């Protein structure tokens, strides 16, 4: 074989290799574009679920979707309509009923573990055998008639007393092959498992533990912003090899609704949390003479939704005017 023929074969081989490499690159590019389009479609579906108008509340859906004020009002109305059921679910969740251990199936349950889902109830023996190996699980004792948090070094004797960012999950759906009946998780089922929906369609849901931590951080550092807290969670999402962002507006709205339901439950339990911040060692608010942000409320777009905690923090103008008139009438001016 001559040198020219060898050179020709080598050139054909190089072209073949380049063709395969180009095909591999195009295939990887197609896979990347497909994943990107799926993520974009998922994000758009979440946004449409968060902002969709309820059935029968608007005669012009296009007008409602383009008007921010109307959209926010309809969104708040859906939460307000659902709030009584959420209050009942939150109150029923704290009910300590007589249960059987879900591990051995024979002894009465004495401990509830918030991390051992979907079988959270343990008897005293099964609790010791399980949580001597999983010492950092969050457990509650049931023996006192209510759920009492247990430290890792404490266990129940018979007859005596993390934030990890965002996950992409699949909701469970069950179907019977015989009768074709189906079952899907609802908001109540999420509440019983210590989750809270971002919207009433619960395309996104939050672990209630993240709400507790955000509330405690706001109490310790009132100047902490919600965006800074969510950026921390986004960083944890990336750190553990996951993807996705957390919506600030959705998180804040869901957190406020969770606080409103907790407030209603506390009223049922006759708990009083309003004490004078000046008389306690822990300050609950930033000083009024500190730096403040001023907004042009008359020019800014805002909805006409009512406050969740009505007449709790700020009294109505009519009540204040009535009280001032009463003071003027009953006081003697010198």
Q: What percent of the chain clears pLDDT 70, i.e. is strictly above it?
A: 59
Contact 223, 48 (CB under 8 A): no
Contact 111, 120 (CB under 8 A): no
- Per-residue confidence at 168, pLDDT binned at 50, 70, 90? low
pLDDT for position 183 = 82
pLDDT surpassing 80 at residue 314: no
pLDDT surpassing 60 at residue 77: yes
Least confident of 6-10, 210-214, 283-287: 283-287
pLDDT surpassing 50 at residue 154: yes
Q: Determine phi and psi for 191, rounding to 5 degrees.
A: -60, -40
pLDDT surpassing 80 at residue 280: no
57-61: average pLDDT: 47
59-78: average pLDDT: 69
Model pTM score: 0.45
Token pair for 142: 């049931």
pLDDT surpassing 80 at residue 175: yes
Of 216, 215, 222, the residue nearest 283 (C-alpha):
222
Tens digits of residue pLDDT in 97-144: 778 888 888 888 888 888 888 888 888 888 888 888 887 788 888 776
Q: Determine phi and psi for 324, rounding to 5 degrees.
A: -65, -40
Q: What's the chain's average pLDDT? A: 72
- Per-residue confidence at 159, pLDDT binned at 50, 70, 90? very low
CA distance 160 to 26: 68
Gyration radius of the chain over CA positions: 29
Residue spans of beta strands (DSSP E) within 8-138: 111-113, 121-122
Least confident of 20-24, 68-72, 187-191, 275-279: 20-24
pLDDT for position 221 = 84
Q: In this structure, how many other beta carbons lie within 10 angstroms of the beta carbon of residue 46?
A: 18
Q: If you write DSSP's letter for every residue of 274-308 in order, what string do you get?
A: ---GGGSSS--S--TTS------TTTS----PPPS
Contact 72, 305 (CB under 8 A): yes
Between strands 139-141 and 148-150, the pairing is antiparallel
- Per-residue confidence at 220, pLDDT binned at 50, 70, 90? confident
pLDDT for position 53 = 45
Angle among Cα 166, 172, 174 to the nearest 5 degrees reads: 175
Highest mean pLDDT among 38-47, 89-98, 218-227: 218-227
């Amino acid at each position: 074989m001559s040198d020219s023929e060898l050179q020709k074969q080598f050139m054909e081989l190089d072209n073949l290799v380049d063709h395969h490499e180009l095909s591999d690159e195009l295939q990887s590019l197609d896979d990347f574009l497909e994943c990107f389009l799926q993520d974009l479609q998922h994000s758009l579906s979440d946004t449409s679920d968060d902002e969709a108008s309820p059935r029968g509340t608007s005669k012009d859906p296009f007008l409602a979707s383009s008007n921010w004020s109307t959209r926010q009002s309809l969104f708040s109305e859906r939460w307000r309509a659902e709030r009584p059921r959420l209050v009942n679910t939150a109150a029923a969740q704290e009910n300590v009923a007589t249960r059987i251990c879900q591990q051995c199936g024979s002894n009465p349950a004495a401990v509830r573990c918030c991390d051992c889902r979907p079988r959270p109830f343990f008897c005293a023996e099964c609790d010791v055998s399980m949580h001597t190996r999983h010492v950092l699980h969050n457990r509650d004792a049931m023996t006192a008639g209510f759920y009492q948090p247990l430290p890792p070094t404490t266990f129940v004797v018979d007859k005596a007393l993390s934030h990890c960012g965002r996950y992409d999950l699949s909701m469970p759906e069950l179907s019977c092959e015989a009768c074709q009946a189906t079952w899907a998780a609802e908001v109540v089922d999420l509440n019983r498992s210590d989750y809270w929906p971002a919207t009433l369609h619960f395309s996104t849901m939050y672990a209630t533990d993240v709400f507790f931590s955000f509330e405690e951080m706001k109490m310790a550092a009132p100047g902490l912003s919600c965006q800074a807290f969510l950026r921390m969670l986004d960083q944890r999402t990336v750190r553990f090899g996951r993807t996705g962002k957390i919506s600030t507006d959705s998180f804040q709205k869901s957190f406020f609704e969770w606080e409103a339901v907790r407030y209603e439950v506390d009223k049922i339990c006759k708990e009083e949390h309003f004490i004078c911040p000046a008389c306690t060692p822990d300050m609950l608010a930033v000083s009024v003479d500190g730096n403040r942000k001023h907004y042009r409320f008359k020019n800014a777009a805002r909805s006409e939704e009512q406050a969740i905690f009505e007449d709790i923090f700020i009294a109505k103008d009519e009540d204040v005017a009535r009280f001032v008139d009463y003071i003027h009438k009953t006081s003697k001016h010198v």
